[in-house]
Amino acid sequence: MKRFPLPDLLKGFAVFLIVPVHILETFIDFPGRESVFGKTLLFLGGPIAVPVFMLVMGYFLAKNQKPFATNFFRGIKIFMAGLLLNIGLNFHLLLKIQFAGWQLNPWEYIFGVDMFYFAGLTIILLSMLKTIKSGREWIALLLVFTVVGATAFVNHKLMVPERNYIFPFIGGTWSWSYFQLFPWLAYPLAGFAFFHFEERLLAFINRKKTISGILFTVIFALVLYFGKPGFTITTDLPSYYHHTFWFSMWAFGVVILWSVFWQFMLEKFPKTRLGEFFMWLGKNITAFYIIQWLIIGNIATAIYQTQTLTSFPFWFAGIFAATVLIIKLIERIGKT
């Protein structure tokens, strides 16, 4: 299979930066999470991690030439994999609820709207969008702004008084909903649209270098200017998971600058060991995401938010190394 260096690199960084967030929010105590170091980890696991991954996902969904049925049922399979992953990563907790009398609602953990649920729904929806023969790139672009523009309204309308396990997949500010369609669907939609506009955009950048330089400078200035509120939202996880229009616009600016920077670095330094390692992570992002969550989730039940910040490097190094070794072992077994 042909690999694409920049997307693999971006996905590699994304999963590398997501692991510290998972450890921080489940292992580390309140002072550690509120420290400058803790806030920095949350920020790094924000716009240059999850939105980047989602944009890349949308790009490759647009790129693949598989028939509608193949993509549609792939989305269903990934959605069901999300159910299995939630059961797996919360297995220790579910045992405590069942046999130790812990007074927690298991359905909030089983139906917690995490990445696999979101990815499955996204693939289903974008596979439907792909059936439109003409103008789908403009429809996707319109939907980007529709989704982020309507998020605040949708979030308000879906917060019904009674407990609900359907609405959190769509929107709202439910505590067990992390990557609901509003606002997160905007990012894969943007990646989908970018695929269709890519040739025209690159031709414009190459033809109008001065104008392009000015545009990138304006984006950079706006990202810096709105950096403080962007940082504040990113480092407050409930606000980040349920962000609305202006944060999305800021996040798009961050993603553009991040992607352009790494494209430049790849052109200058196409082959480095560190770069190849992150590309390997990106290539194995699904396996890495599953394994790290199975490890972190089941340990978290025993030590939930009790560890000091000084223990973070040990937890991160151990879990990251264990995940890499397990993937390497799986690869080796697959080759035999």
| Cβ neighbours for 296, distance < 8 A, ≥ 6 positions apart | 19, 22, 23, 26, 27, 89, 319
pLDDT digits (tens, 9 = 90+) for 153-212: 999 999 998 888 999 999 999 999 999 999 999 999 999 999 999 999 999 998 999 999
Backbone phi, then psi, for 46, in 5-degree steps?
A: -95, -115
**DSSP three-state, residue 113:** strand
SS3 call for 132? coil
Q: What is the pLDDT of residues 183-197, one digit of tens each?
A: 999 999 999 999 999
pLDDT at 98: 95
> pLDDT per position in the chain (336 positions), as tens?
556 789 999 999 999 999 999 999 999 999 999 999 999 999 999 999 999 999 999 999 999 989 999 999 999 999 999 999 999 999 999 999 999 999 999 999 999 999 999 999 999 999 999 999 899 999 999 999 999 999 999 999 999 988 889 999 999 999 999 999 999 999 999 999 999 999 999 999 989 999 999 999 999 999 999 999 999 999 999 999 999 999 999 999 999 999 999 999 998 888 899 999 999 999 999 999 999 999 999 999 999 999 999 999 999 999 999 999 999 999 998 877
Q: 121-138: per-residue pLDDT in tens? A: 999 999 999 999 899 999
Say if CB 29 and CB 307 are below 8 A apart: yes
Give ∠ CA 260-137-76 in degrees, rounded to 5: 95
- Give residue 1's pLDDT: 53
Domain boundary assignment for the chain: 1-45+276-336, 53-268
As a whole number, the mean pLDDT across the chain is 95
Q: DSSP 3-state assignment of 269?
A: coil
Instruction: Quote the CA–CA distance of 89 and 83 in Å, as a whole number.
Output: 10
Distance separating alpha carbons of residues 247 and 8, to the nearest angstrom = 25
The per-residue pLDDT for 61 is 95
The residue to which tokens 């990563």 are assigned: 89
CB distance 291 to 327 below 8 Å: yes
How many C-beta neighbours within 10 Å does residue 103 have? Answer: 5
Nearest to 82 by CA among 169, 204, 6, 190: 169
User: Given this model, what pLDDT does residue 162 score?
Assistant: 86
Question: What pLDDT, on the 0 to 100 scale, is given for residue 275?
Answer: 92
Residues across the chain: 336
**Residue 6: CB atoms within 10 Å:** 16
